[in-house]
Amino acid sequence: MSSNFNKDRRTLSAGLIAFAVAAAIGTPSFAAAPATKTINTTGLKITDTEVYVGQLHSATGTMAISETGSIQAEQLAIEQINKAGGILGRQIRIIQEDGASDWPTFAEKARKLLVNDKVAAVFGCWTSASRKAVLPVFEKENGLLYYPTFYEGLEQSKNVFYTGQEATQQIIAGLDWIAKTKGAKSFYLVGSDYIWPRTSNKIARKHIENVLKGKVVGEEYYPLGHTQFGSLINKIKLKKPDVIYSIVVGGSNVAWWKQLKAAGLTAEKQTILTISVTEDEVLGIGGENMVGHYSAMKYFQSLDNPNNKAFVAAFKAKYGKDAVIGDVTQAAYLGPWLWKMAVEKAGSFDVDKVVAASPELEFKAAPEGYVKIHPNHHLWSKLRIGQWDKSGQAKVLYESGLIVPDPFPKGYQ
């Protein structure tokens, strides 16, 4: 009974309908494309002229707010790759699935993309919970996932490439900077009550106490979707910390920053460093509420290097002049390009070959400047500190050197 009962004619048609919806366009060029069987020995869905990839983000539900940027960036990258002739002479076709901000749906759609549609790679997920839900499916079906979000680390899977920063890259350099420039000694840690804030604050606390010899005067968590932060603000005023270290997410994030401003904790009176506010979030919070505060990210839209200028222009051309690009959106943009380089270096779409060819790959045209894939499937990248202004953009004040990714940091467990 283990063998598959029958060829799935019906699901192929469903895949085609979804493919018709896909946005990929561009003229396929028939350069000397290598024969399909040589570059696809594991039954992936590849023809002489096309290769299918999956895109698995939340287009609906509470996470749609954050994931729309990633969807747009990945589609822009694929469109540009197709214009430049695709990969190994094949145009990339996207099968888009909606995770609907619901983790079991992510797992269900991931299995559909890998088992039914046999896509060559998947660009998707945003929250840690969605990644954890699909991880067993990718490892069992030997699929390939490019995961864009900065996250808590503590994971290193053969089938996943993490194009966002892991916790230590984002936290440690940021804390060092704020301690040095502001002479900060006392910190108040705040976060939404789930895995990423709790784990990141654990690393931050260890770094503050052991390395910076500072003091953590308070640590508070509020349920996801919480909207009343008055008591917390009063508690903070009681402790008068040098810096508030904030990792609040989603709808609560907007309420938190608005209520901070309303309680008089503007940048002049209280230094706040956050790792959960990008240009996307500032769109919802409103520039006037973020003026003067600091974010530690690896990418800001205002980075002035030629790669970024071209990327921002292309993004605005496709998605409207007041579109904004945040850290995760840029990291998502890297996904397709890194996959392209790995496939071309490996000369094949087979997942194992692509994974083997990825380490040490350098992407010099990255909007954030330069990234290199580390054998642990994360990226060497720089950390930047941006100060927000009224218009909703951030001025980059500091740029660290290249930081090695270390998902299992010793001494911070």
Partner 1 sequence: MKAVGGFLRKHDLAGILVLAAILLVVLPLMLDLFRLNLVGKYLTYAFVAVGLVLCWGYGGVLSLGQGVFFGLGGYCMAMFLKLEASDPASTKIQSTPGIPDFMDWNQLTALPWFWQPFHSFTFTLLAMLLIPGLLAFVIGIAMFKRRVGGVYFAIITQVIAAILTILIIGQQGYTGGVNGMTDLKTLHGWDIRSDSARYLLYFLCCALLIGGVFLARYVLGSKLGKLLLAMRDKEERVRFSGYDVAEFKVFVFTLAAMFSAVGGALFTLQVGFMSPSFVGIVPSIEMVIFTAVGGRASILGAIYGSLLVNWAKTFFSESFPQLWLLFMGGLFIAVVMFFPNGLAGVLEQHRVRIGEWWRKCAGRLRPTPAVPLQRENHS
Partner 2 sequence: MEGVGVGEFGSILLMQGFNGLSVFSVLVLMALGLAIIFGQMGVINMAHGEFLTIGAYTTFVLSHLTTTYLPSAQPYYFLVAIIVAFVLGGLVGYAVEYLLIRHLYKRPLDSLLATWGLSLVMQQMFRSTFGAKEVSATLPDWLLGSWQPSGTVDIPLNGLFVMVITLLLTCLVALFMYRSRSGLRMRATTQNRVMAGAVGINTAQVDRMTFALGCGIAGVAGAAFTTIGSTGPTSGSLYIVDAFLTVVFGGAQSLLGTLASAFSIAQANSTLEFFITGSSAKVITLLAIIVILMIRPQGLFSSKVRK
- How many positions of this chain bind partner 2 (CB under 8 A)? 47
Task: Find the Cα–Cα–Cα–Cα dihedral 340, 110, 192, 264, rounded to 10°.
Answer: 50
Burial class for 221, CB neighbours closer than 10 Å (0-12, 13-18, 19+): middle
Per-residue tokens: 375: 């054998």
Task: Give the whole-angstrom CA distance, residue 227 versus residue 216.
Answer: 24
Q: Which among partner 1, partner 2, none contacts residue 230 (Cβ within 5 to 8 A by kind)?
A: partner 2
End-to-end CA distance of the chain: 46
Min dist. Cβ of residue 287 to partner 2 (A): 8
Rounded to the nearest 5 degrees, what angle is found at the Cα of 228, between the Cα atoms of 227 and 231? 150
Among 111, 132, 185, 261, interactor with partner 2 by CB under 8 A: 261
Between 28 and 284, whose beta carbon lies closer to partner 2? 284
Residue 61 makes contact with partner 2 by CB under 8 A: yes
Q: Are 298 and 165 spatial neighbours (Cβ–Cβ below 8 Å)? A: yes
The pattern of x and - marking residues 371 through 390 that bind partner 2 according to CB under 8 A reads --------------------
- Residue number with CB closer to partner 1 (135 or 273): 135
Using rule CB under 8 A, residue 264 touches partner 2? yes
What phi and psi values does residue 17 have, to the nearest 5 degrees? -60, -45
Cβ of residue 97: shortest distance to partner 1, in angstroms? 7
Return the number of the residue (258 or 316) whose C-beta is nearest partner 2. 258
Token reading at 156: 């290193």
**Taking the complex as a whole, how short is the minimal distance between the CB of residue 139 and partner 1, in angstroms?**
8
Shortest Å distance, C-beta 58 to partner 1: 10
Query: Contacts from 361-365 at CB under 8 Å and sequence distance 24+?
Result: 363/334, 363/337, 363/338, 365/307, 365/337
DSSP symbols for 329-364:
HHHHHHHHHHHHHHHHHHTS--HHHHHHH-TT-EET
Contact at 8 Å (CB) between 290 and 282?
A: yes
- Within 63-92, the residues that bind partner 2 by CB under 8 A are 64-65, 67-69
If binding is defined by CB under 8 A, does position 254 make contact with partner 2?
yes
Among partner 2, partner 1, none, partner that 283 touches (CB below 5 to 8 angstroms by kind): partner 2
- Minimum distance, C-beta of residue 189 to partner 1, in the bound complex (Å): 16
- Site residues, partner 1 (CB under 8 A): 1-2, 4-6, 8, 11, 14, 17-18, 21, 59-60, 96-98, 100, 102-105, 107-109, 111-112, 115-116, 127-129, 132-133, 135-136, 140, 154, 193-195, 198-199, 202, 221, 223-224, 408, 413
For residue 6, the partner it binds in partner 1, partner 2, none, with Cβ less than 5 to 8 A by kind, is partner 1
Which residues lie below 8 Å from residue 311, measured CB to CB, with a gap of 6+?
325, 330, 333, 367
Q: From the CB of 329, what's the least distance to partner 1, in Å?
A: 19
* Of the residues 8, 288, 360, 362, which one makes contact with partner 2 according to CB under 8 A: 288
